């Protein structure tokens, strides 16, 4: 796994600048192309119809102003020495489908945690992150809505649970793991012994083959409040990044998060690299 294309989500919120800064540094460090994709809308496409009158026209003018402000933030960031990226805008509604269609072709996504205090003019759906994860299966670095963070993490914690989601997250984080000074693996309830006669394949061996040495932390039982405990353990380890699978299931047309994923996305205080 190498990062050749990084896609950062831009919107009209002030926090976009922090995401763009992290994405810019990541792309530069890994020799990747950086694309900024603006996906934010105060107005569903149906409201552009004439019958919505002056109210729709006013909202559309406001939307154009906000996209221009976001573009100005992008251009200011790109004036920095290692700034080099393309700018695109989603012109369809709903936003999620438009963004996900582009995200399929990126090696790493940089998204922002939903800010519950953003107010009534939030221009991105609250479930945007989990929707993108579910629709694309691509690894996404989710940046908290507050705080300052290093673009290149030195200490990484992996929340390990044998399965597709966790392994896809680890594989998606591999370029970062290979550069880290320390990697800790957190797991609960030991893995069952596989029905294999002879050498077994496991995470320890896979990471070792890819040049990543780890400290292994294994607890015998999985607690009920695993999401909160994960964040607490990551803090105790002074981790700069948490890597984990994003778990959920489809119910009709909704994406329903599992309890651990929901807790982490709501309460995260450090960047989290997730994959579904």
pLDDT tens for 58-86 read 777 888 888 899 999 999 988 887 778 99
- Who contacts 138 (Cβ-Cβ below 8 Å, separation ≥6)? 103, 104, 106, 107, 108, 109, 132, 172, 275
**Do 5-143 and 155-275 agree at the fold level?**
yes
pLDDT band at 22 (very low <50, low <70, confident <90, very high): very high
pLDDT at 46: 45
**How many separate helices (H) and strands (E) can be counted in the chain?**
8, 12
How many whole angstroms separate alpha carbon 194 and alpha carbon 238? 33
Q: What is each CA distance from 265 to 50, 106, 114, 275, in whole angstroms?
A: 39, 21, 8, 12
Strands 254-257 and 108-112: unpaired
pLDDT band at 92 (very low <50, low <70, confident <90, very high): confident
pLDDT at 201: 87
**Considering the domain 155-275, what is its CATH architecture?**
3-Layer(aba) Sandwich (3.40)
Counting every residue written for the chain, the total comes to: 276
- CATH number of 5-143, picked from 3.40.50.620, 3.90.199.10, 3.40.190.10, 3.40.50.970: 3.40.50.620
Residue ranges covered by each domain of the chain: 5-143, 155-275
């Amino acid at each position: 796994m190498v990062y050749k294309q990084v896609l950062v989500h831009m919107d009209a919120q002030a926090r976009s600048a922090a995401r763009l800064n992290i994405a810019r540094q990541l792309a530069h460090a890994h020799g990747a192309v950086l694309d900024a994709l603006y996906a934010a809308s105060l107005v569903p496409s149906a409201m552009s119809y004439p019958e919505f009158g002056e109210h729709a026209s006013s909202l559309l003018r406001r939307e154009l102003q906000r996209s221009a402000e976001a573009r100005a933030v992008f251009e200011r960031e790109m004036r920095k020495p290692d700034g080099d990226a393309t700018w695109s805008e989603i012109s369809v509604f709903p936003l999620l489908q438009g963004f996900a269609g582009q995200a399929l072709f990126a090696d790493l996504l940089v998204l922002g945690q939903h800010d519950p205090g953003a107010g009534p003019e939030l221009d991105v759906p609250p479930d945007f992150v989990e929707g993108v994860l579910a629709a694309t299966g691509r690894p996404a670095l989710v940046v908290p809505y507050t705080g300052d963070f290093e673009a290149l993490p030195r200490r990484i914690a992996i929340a390990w649970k044998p399965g597709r989601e966790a392994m896809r997250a680890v594989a998606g984080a591999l370029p970062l793991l290979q550069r880290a000074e320390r990697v800790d693996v957190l797991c609960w309830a030991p893995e069952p012994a596989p029905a294999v006669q002879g050498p077994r394949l496991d995470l320890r061996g896979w990471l070792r083959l890819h040049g990543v040495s780890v400290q292994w932390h294994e607890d015998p039982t999985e607690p009920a409040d695993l999401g909160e405990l994960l964040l607490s353990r990551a803090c105790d380890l002074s981790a700069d990044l948490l890597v984990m699978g994003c778990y959920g299931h489809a119910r009709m047309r909704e994406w329903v998060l599992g309890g651990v994923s929901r807790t982490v996305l709501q309460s995260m205080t450090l960047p989290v690299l997730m994959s579904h």
